[in-house]
């Protein structure tokens, strides 16, 4: 039989309890601590009140309900007000948090820019496989904060009127977020423009593969904001039937690749969808309407648009059956910059109508295929090509779209060797057999064959795209992120990733090195460093003759790298140093003179993929500063050292295919 008890400040609960109804004031703000697995706390309508007073941020303190390290707990029917955080759970799984009220905890509408502290209604850190349902958390700083919290179900909650965010995901993946009210996430003064990055929903730092459906995200600073200030992208998220309208800035602001948007609304905001940096995005049956009318913050040269995919990369982009209408200026804006154009788009069977200026505005873009769209009634015309626009096709199309399938048929592509691509597995859903193929092989070469053979002159990353067109004019795309390795005859020595060791780390306990068979450039394995250290040195042995040969043949040091850092600016500009060493005090070194860990210097794909680097060993080159220490004997260099520096925070760096390669 459950015990019926009165809660008190500092109470530690280790068994099932039911609270006696009533209001309980914890004037010292010492909350309840849960300290057992598989128990139920039934609040039974009880109210626990901390000392916090609305309007005075300095009065809030403590956590109303907390737990660290326990699993299988149920908390229900409890109200917790007046604390810095209503409830916090850390390091647990299989929780049920149901029918609680965490409103009127810490909030600060006067806070400036930035995220502030993680206070508010409900904070789950490293909590998995749990159910959060039918809770309330209004008039707080953060509504629900999921930090490294995976595979949870968040259903039928109300977290609203939050001065920072209603829902925040940081490093949280595989969650189901369905049928919640998470609106009015905004912090703004009268006459203020940008709302200090407050938003109804904030998703960042590797929050992947979440399914977010049927939610109310309206009236935020932004509605939904997928942010990657630290370069650590969130991808694979699926949004369906959410309403993010009436945002102060962007109903949807997304800077990350590979997310899918189906039947969502982005209306009555400054912009409906702002998607710069959203390579491989898919937009189906969304609505972007009446944007820039009620409010028109941050207009671009083209004004405020229904959908703006600008100021960031957008390769392999798909739009189908969206409704883009009655926006203040442009319906759809496409473009990036000269030399890195918006590239490889499908815009199919959309309605782009009755926008005040242009239906479609294009600048710095290529390979755009418009098929079967209704583009009419736009005030200044249906299309406007501003500058640097090429390979745009506009055609009539009707019927189902084909399915494009691009396959790399060559194992371990090498420079100078034949690389084969196969598009013949593509299908015409309507039953036809007369697909048209358009390949872009990433080095300026194009082909109209279903199966293509090509030779790449240089190793590196290539953005390969395939477009297939049916006899009805409908279209689909696919792509391959191609990594071409140096020709075998050019490789004088390839380092064995298995031999990598941590030579030095500070602090030493916060660096871990392992082999990764899944994430590799070629056959693998790669070597992966996970650390919070401010300094890490990885070391490889160099056989006796390998360094001599590399210098004698004028080789380059080639390597592939991928990285993520949870801290914005966590890698300083000169974060990476390469040394070939005779001893610890005698060596040749190359210091990165440009931000090696800044993806905009490479390609958008480098944010969550591999990038190729090479350092000439015997000549100067832009981007690397070469120097010597201790007058080393170049015939006695026997160690390769890779040094990484960080200003703090968790980071991961992987290396693969490190080799001396003859130029």
Query: What is the per-residue pLDDT across 219-249, written as a single tens digit (0 to 9) for each?
Result: 999 999 999 988 899 999 999 999 999 999 9
Looking at the fold, whether 495 and 584 belong to one and the same domain comes out as yes
Express the helix, strand and coil content of the chain in percent, nearest 5 each.
Answer: 5, 45, 50
The C-alpha atoms of residue 547 and residue 301 are separated, in whole angstroms, by: 54
pLDDT (0 to 100) of residue 128: 99
Query: What is the per-residue pLDDT across 355-369, written as a single tens digit (0 to 9) for each?
Result: 999 999 999 999 999
Looking at the fold, whether 527 and 479 belong to one and the same domain comes out as no
- 3 state SS of 635: helix
Q: Is residue 187 part of a domain?
A: yes
- 3 state SS of 389: strand
Nearest to residue 184, comparing CAs of 214, 216, 161? 161
Looking at the fold, whether 599 and 469 belong to one and the same domain comes out as no
Query: What is the per-residue pLDDT across 505-528, written as a single tens digit (0 to 9) for each?
Result: 998 889 999 999 999 999 889 999
Looking at the fold, whether 541 and 633 belong to one and the same domain comes out as yes
Q: What are the E-state strand segments in 349-450?
A: 351-353, 358-363, 365-371, 374-376, 381-385, 389-395, 407-408, 418-422, 436-440, 446-447
Q: How many helices (H) and strands (E) does the chain have?
A: 1, 57
Looking at the fold, whether 464 and 505 belong to one and the same domain comes out as no
Looking at the fold, whether 444 and 544 belong to one and the same domain comes out as no
Paired tokens of 549: 């040969």
Looking at the fold, whether 25 and 56 belong to one and the same domain comes out as yes
Nearest to residue 287, comparing CAs of 351, 225, 236, 334? 351
Torsion from C-alpha of 13, 17, 20, 25, nearest 10 degrees: 20
Task: Choose the final residue of a domain: 221, 240, 259.
Answer: 240
Phi and psi (nearest 5°) for 489? Answer: -70, -15
Looking at the fold, whether 431 and 577 belong to one and the same domain comes out as no
Number of domains in the chain: 3
- 3 state SS of 451: strand
Looking at the fold, whether 123 and 231 belong to one and the same domain comes out as yes
Q: Is residue 376 part of a domain?
A: no
CB 529 within 8 A of CB 653: yes
Paired tokens of 61: 């303190």
Looking at the fold, whether 578 and 642 belong to one and the same domain comes out as yes
CATH code at position 467: 2.60.40.10
Looking at the fold, whether 27 and 55 belong to one and the same domain comes out as yes
CB 78 within 8 A of CB 21: no
Give residue 506's region: left, alpha or beta (phi > 0; psi -120 to 50): beta
CATH code at position 560: 2.60.120.430
Q: Is residue 290 part of a domain?
A: no
Task: Choose the final residue of a domain: 240, 268, 298.
Answer: 240
Q: Is residue 552 part of a domain?
A: yes
Q: Is residue 34 part of a domain?
A: yes
pLDDT (0 to 100) of residue 648: 86
Q: Is residue 271 part of a domain?
A: no
CB 109 within 8 A of CB 96: no
- 3 state SS of 599: helix
The C-alpha atoms of residue 109 and residue 58 are separated, in whole angstroms, by: 13
pLDDT (0 to 100) of residue 600: 62
Give every residue of the chain whose pLDDT is below 50, as ranges: none
CATH code at position 229: 2.160.20.10
Residue-range definition of the domain harbouring residue 457: 407-484
CA distances from 156 to 117, 183, 245, 385 (A): 26, 13, 19, 45
Q: Is residue 435 part of a domain?
A: yes
pTM attached to this predicted model: 0.96
Strands 511-516 and 23-25: unpaired
Looking at the fold, whether 480 and 501 belong to one and the same domain comes out as no
Task: Choose the final residue of a domain: 469, 484, 499.
Answer: 484
Q: Is residue 72 part of a domain?
A: yes
């Amino acid at each position: 039989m459950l015990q019926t008890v009165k809660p008190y400040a500092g109470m530690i609960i280790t068994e099932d309890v039911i609270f006696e109804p009533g209001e309980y004031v914890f004037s010292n703000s010492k909350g309840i601590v849960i300290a057992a697995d598989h128990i139920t706390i039934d609040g039974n309508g009880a109210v626990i009140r901390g000392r916090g007073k609305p309007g005075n941020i300095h009065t809030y303190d403590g956590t109303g309900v907390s737990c660290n390290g326990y699993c299988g707990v149920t908390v229900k029917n409890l109200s917790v007000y007046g604390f810095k955080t209503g409830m916090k759970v850390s390091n647990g799984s299989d929780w049920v948090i149901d029918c609680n009220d965490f409103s009127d905890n810490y909030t600060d509408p006067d806070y400036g820019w930035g995220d502030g502290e993680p206070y508010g209604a409900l904070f789950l850190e490293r909590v998995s496989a749990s159910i959060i349902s039918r809770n309330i958390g209004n008039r707080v700083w953060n509504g629900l904060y999921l930090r490294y919290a995976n595979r949870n179900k968040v259903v039928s909650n109300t977290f609203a009127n939050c001065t920072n965010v209603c829902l925040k995901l940081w490093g949280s993946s595989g969650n189901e977020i369905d049928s919640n009210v998470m609106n009015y996430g905004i912090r703004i003064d009268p006459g203020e423009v940008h709302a200090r990055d407050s938003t109804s929903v904030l998703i960042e730092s590797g929050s992947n593969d979440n399914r977010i459906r049927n939610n109310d995200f309206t009236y935020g600073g932004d509605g939904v904001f997928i942010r990657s200030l630290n370069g650590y992208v969130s991808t694979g998220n699926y949004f369906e039937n959410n309403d993010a309208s009436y945002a102060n800035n962007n109903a949807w602001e997304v800077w990350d690749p590979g997310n899918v948007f189906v039947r969502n609304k982005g209306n009555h905001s400054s912009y409906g969808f702002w998607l710069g940096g959203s390579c491989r995005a898919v937009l189906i049956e969304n609505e972007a309407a009446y944007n820039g009318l009620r409010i028109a913050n941050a207009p671009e040269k083209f004004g405020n648009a229904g959908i703006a995919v600008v100021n960031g990369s957008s390769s392999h982009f798909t739009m189908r059956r969206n409704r883009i209408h009655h926006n203040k200026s442009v319906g759809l804006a496409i473009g990036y910059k000269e030399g890195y154009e918006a590239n490889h788009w499908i815009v199919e069977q959309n309605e782009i109508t009755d926008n005040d200026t242009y239906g479609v505005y294009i600048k710095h873009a290529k390979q755009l295929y418009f098929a079967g769209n209704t583009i009419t009634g736009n005030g200044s015309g249906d299309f406007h090509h501003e500058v640097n626009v090429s390979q745009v096709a506009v055609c009539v199309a009707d019927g189902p779209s084909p399915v494009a399938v691009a396959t790399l048929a060559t194992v371990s592509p090498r420079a100078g060797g034949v690389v084969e691509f196969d598009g013949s597995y593509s299908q015409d859903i309507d039953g036809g057999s007369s697909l048209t193929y358009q390949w872009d092989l990433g080095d300026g070469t194009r082909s109209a064959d279903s199966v293509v053979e090509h030779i790449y002159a240089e190793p590196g990353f290539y953005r390969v795209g395939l477009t297939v067109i049916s006899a009805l004019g409908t279209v689909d795309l696919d792509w391959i992120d191609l990594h071409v390795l140096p020709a075998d005859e050019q490789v004088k020595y390839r380092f064995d990733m298995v031999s990598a060791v941590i030579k030095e780390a500070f602090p030493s306990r916060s660096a871990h090195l392992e082999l990764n068979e899944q994430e590799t450039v070629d056959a693998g394995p790669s070597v992966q460093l996970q650390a919070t250290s401010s300094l890490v040195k990885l070391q490889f042995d160099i056989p006796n003759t390998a360094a001599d040969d590399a210098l004698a043949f004028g080789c380059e040091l080639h390597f592939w790298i991928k990285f993520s850092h949870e801290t914005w600016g966590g890698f300083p500009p000169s974060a990476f140093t390469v040394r070939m060493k005779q001893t610890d005090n005698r060596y040749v070194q190359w210091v990165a003179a440009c931000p090696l860990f800044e993806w905009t210097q490479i390609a958008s794909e480098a944010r969550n993929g591999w990038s190729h680097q090479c350092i000439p060993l015997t000549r100067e080159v832009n981007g690397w500063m070469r120097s010597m220490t201790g007058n080393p004997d170049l015939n006695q260099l026997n160690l390769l050292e890779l040094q990484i520096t960080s200003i703090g925070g968790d980071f991961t760096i992987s290396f693969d295919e490190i080799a001396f390669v003859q130029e």
